[in-house]
Amino acid sequence: MKFKALSGALLVLCLILVVSACGSSKTNNAGASESAATGKVTLKLWYWNGAVSDSTIEAAKAKFPNVDLQAEKLPSGNDYLTKLKTTIAGGGKGPDIVAMDSWVSSMLTYKEKFVNLYDQGARDIQPKYLDWKWKMAATPDDKDLIGLPIDVAPVVLYYRTDLFEKAGVPSTPEDIKNKVKTWDDYLNLLKQVKDKTGSQSGTIVDFFRSLIGQNSEGNFDLNGNYIGDKEHVKKAWDASVKAYKAGVTFPFSNDAEKNAAINNGKVSSFTGASWAVGDVIGAAPSTKGKWHIAYPPGGVGNQGGSFFGVLKSTKAPKEAYEVIKFLVSPENLVIDYKEFGNYPSTPEIYSSPEMVNKNEFFGNQDLSPVFADAAKDVKVAHTDSRDDMVLTVLVEALGTVDTQKKDPEKAWADAQEKIKRQLSR
Among positions 24, 28, 78, 364, the unique one binding other proteins when judged by CB under 8 A:
78
Residue 292 carries which side chain, given as an amino acid letter? H
Backbone CA torsion sign across 365, 366, 369, 374: positive
Q: Enumerate residues 138-167 that contact other proteins by CB under 8 A.
A: none
Q: Would you say 22 or 62 has its CB closer to other proteins?
A: 22
Query: Would you count residue 253 as binding other proteins (CB under 8 A)?
Result: yes
SS3 call for 218:
coil
Query: Would you count residue 7 as binding other proteins (CB under 8 A)?
Result: yes
Query: Would you count residue 76 as binding other proteins (CB under 8 A)?
Result: no
Find how far residue 280's CA is from the centre of its chain: 17
**Element holding 195 (H helix, E strand):** helix 183-197
Q: Enumerate residues 81-100 that contact other proteins by CB under 8 A.
A: 82, 85-86, 88-89
Query: Would you count residue 423 as binding other proteins (CB under 8 A)?
Result: no
Number of residues that bind other proteins (CB under 8 A): 44
Are 323 and 42 in contact by the 8 Å Cβ rule? The answer is no
If 0-12 CB within 10 Å is exposed, 13-18 middle and 19+ buried, where does residue 406 land? middle
Find how far residue 117's CA is from the centre of its chain: 21
Query: Would you count residue 70 as binding other proteins (CB under 8 A)?
Result: no
Among positions 251, 278, 285, 289, the unique one binding other proteins when judged by CB under 8 A:
251
Are 209 and 303 in contact by the 8 Å Cβ rule? The answer is yes
Q: What are the residues facing 294 on neighbouring strands?
A: 157
**Element holding 71 (H helix, E strand):** strand 67-74
Q: Would you say 155 or 205 has its CB closer to other proteins?
A: 205
d(CA 15, CA 20): 8
Query: Would you count residue 260 as binding other proteins (CB under 8 A)?
Result: yes
Query: Would you count residue 19 as binding other proteins (CB under 8 A)?
Result: yes
Residues that bind other proteins (CB under 8 A): 4, 7-8, 11-12, 14-15, 18-19, 22, 78, 82, 85-86, 88-89, 109-110, 113, 205, 251, 253-254, 256-257, 260-261, 264, 385-386, 388-389, 391-392, 395-396, 399-400, 403-404, 418, 421-422, 425
